[in-house]
C-alpha cells in the first residue's frame, strides 16, 4: 500500500526528498572540507613556516651582541637563512610601469620545508647566485613582463629570472594585494633603500636537527628575546595561529550549513504537513474498510522514512562531490594544499 501510494504521489515526495538532499549535502560538504583542512594543516605544518623557527626584529641585530651570539649558536646546530623585508616601489623599464611591492632580500636556502613555486622551476634556486630577481606572477601579468626582462629596485637593476606562483605560508590573495619580489641579500646595500626611518623587518630562519626540543629552547631564550623586543615563532606557533584563523572560518561555514539545514527542515516539515493533510480522506476510507489506526500510520511512516533515508544518502553523496569543488573556490584564501579524501565522520553526521 505504501509503495502503490508513493508511485501516485511521486512529485510531492520528491519535493520532500529534495529539501533533505540540499540540507544534508551542505552539512556533509562543509564538515568534510573542514576535516580535510585540519588534516592538511597538521601534515603541512612545517611548510607553513618554511623553517623550524624564526627570529624576527624591526631593528638590525648587528649591534646586539648577545642576540648575534644566540643566532650564531643556533646556526651552528643546523642551517640559517637571513631575510630583510620592506615595502618599496619597483620600476619596470620595458613597460615603464611601477608598482608597490614587498621586497625580500634573502640569503641562504630558505625555505627549508616546502618550496617557492616559480616558472621556470629552476629560477627559485638559480636567482640567488647572480644579479637576478624572482617576481610575483601578478606583476608579470599586469605589466606583460617576461623572463629575461629587467626591473629596478632602488639603484640596482635586476634581471627577472622567473615568476612566483606560490610561497610557503602565503595565500594567493595576500600576494595579489602586495606582490613579493625576491633578490639576493648581497645586493641590498647597493639599492640605497635602507636609510634612517625605514620600516624594515629582519628575519632569521633556522633549520634544526630533530634532537633539538623547540619548547625547551623557547623557554631558555624567551627572556633575552623579550628584553631585546624580538619575536620568536616555531612551527607549533604558526600552526596554532593558522588553525585559529581557520577555526573562525570554519565556524562561519558551520553557520552556513546550519542555515541550509534549517531551511531544509522547514521544507521537509511543510511538505510532510501538506502531504499528510491531503491524505486524510484516504485514511478515513481505509479505516471504514477495516484498516486499524496503527496500520494507516505505518503506511505513511514507511513512505516518509524511506524517502528520508534516500534523501540523506543522496545528500551525503552529493556533499562528498561538492567538497572537491570547495578548495578550488577558496584557493585564493588557503595557505596549504588541501588533500581531499572522504571524511566518513562527516558522512556519518549527515546520515544521522
pLDDT of residue 336: 66
Residue ranges in the chain whose pLDDT is less than 50: none
pLDDT of residue 173: 63
CA–CA dist 85, 214 (Å, integer) = 25
pLDDT of residue 333: 65
- Closest to 313 measured CA to CA, from 276, 351, 344: 351
Report how far apart, in Å, the C-alpha atoms of 37 and of each of 27, 228, 338 are. Answer: 15, 36, 6
Q: Where are the domains of the chain?
A: 2-45+241-351, 79-207
Catalogue the E-assigned strands of 140-247: 150-153, 156-166, 180-184, 201-207, 231-234
pLDDT of residue 134: 93
Catalogue the E-assigned strands of 215-330: 231-234
With contact defined as beta carbons under 8 Å apart, do 90 and 151 qualify?
yes
Q: Is 326 exposed, middle or buried (0-12, 13-18, 19+ CB in 10 A)?
A: buried
Give the pairing of strands 150-153 and 201-207.
unpaired
* Sign of the four-CA dihedral 86, 87, 89, 94: positive
Is the N-terminal amide bond of 152 cis, ω within 30° of 0? Answer: no
318, 320, 325, 327: CA torsion to nearest 10? 150
CA–CA dist 187, 190 (Å, integer) = 5
- Closest to 6 measured CA to CA, from 311, 308, 304: 304
What is the three-class DSSP state of 344?
Answer: helix
Amino acid at each position: 500500500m505504501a509503495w502503490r501510494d508513493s508511485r501516485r504521489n511521486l512529485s510531492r515526495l520528491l519535493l520532500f526528498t529534495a529539501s533533505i538532499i540540499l540540507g544534508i549535502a551542505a552539512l556533509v560538504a562543509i564538515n568534510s572540507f573542514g576535516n580535510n583542512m585540519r588534516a592538511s594543516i597538521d601534515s603541512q605544518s612545517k611548510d607553513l613556516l618554511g623553517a623550524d623557527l624564526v627570529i624576527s626584529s624591526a631593528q638590525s641585530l648587528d649591534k646586539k651582541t648577545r642576540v648575534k651570539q644566540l643566532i650564531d649558536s643556533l646556526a651552528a646546530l643546523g642551517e640559517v637563512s637571513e631575510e630583510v623585508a620592506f615595502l618599496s616601489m619597483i620600476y619596470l623599464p620595458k613597460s615603464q610601469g611601477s608598482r608597490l611591492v614587498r621586497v625580500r632580500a634573502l640569503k641562504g636556502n630558505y625555505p627549508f620545508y616546502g618550496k617557492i613555486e616559480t616558472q621556470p622551476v629552476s629560477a627559485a634556486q638559480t636567482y640567488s647566485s647572480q644579479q637576478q630577481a624572482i617576481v610575483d606572477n601578478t606583476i608579470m601579468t599586469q605589466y606583460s613582463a617576461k623572463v629575461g626582462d629587467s626591473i629596478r629596485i632602488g639603484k640596482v637593476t635586476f634581471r627577472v629570472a622567473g615568476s612566483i606562483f606560490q610561497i610557503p605560508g602565503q595565500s594567493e590573495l595576500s600576494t595579489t594585494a602586495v606582490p613579493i619580489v625576491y633578490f639576493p641579500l648581497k645586493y641590498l646595500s647597493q639599492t640605497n633603500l635602507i636609510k634612517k626611518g625605514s620600516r624594515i623587518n629582519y628575519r632569521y630562519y633556522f633549520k634544526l636537527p630533530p634532537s633539538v626540543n623547540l619548547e625547551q629552547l623557547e623557554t631558555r631564550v624567551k627572556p633575552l628575546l623579550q628584553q631585546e623586543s624580538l619575536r620568536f615563532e616555531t612551527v607549533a606557533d604558526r600552526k596554532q595561529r593558522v588553525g585559529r584563523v581557520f577555526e573562525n572560518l570554519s565556524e562561519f561555514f558551520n553557520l552556513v550549513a546550519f542555515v541550509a539545514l534549517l531551511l531544509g527542515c522547514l521544507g521537509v516539515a511543510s511538505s510532510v504537513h501538506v502531504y499528510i493533510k491531503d491524505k486524510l480522506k484516504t485514511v478515513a476510507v481505509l479505516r471504514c474498510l477495516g484498516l486499524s489506526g496503527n496500520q494507516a500510520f505505518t503506511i505513511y511512516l514507511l513512505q516518509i522514512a524511506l524517502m528520508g533515508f534516500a534523501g540523506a544518502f543522496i545528500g551525503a553523496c552529493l556533499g562528498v562531490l561538492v567538497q572537491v569543488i570547495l578548495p578550488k573556490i577558496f584557493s585564493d584564501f588557503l595557505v596549504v594544499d588541501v588533500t581531499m579524501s572522504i571524511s566518513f565522520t562527516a558522512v556519518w553526521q549527515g546520515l544521522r
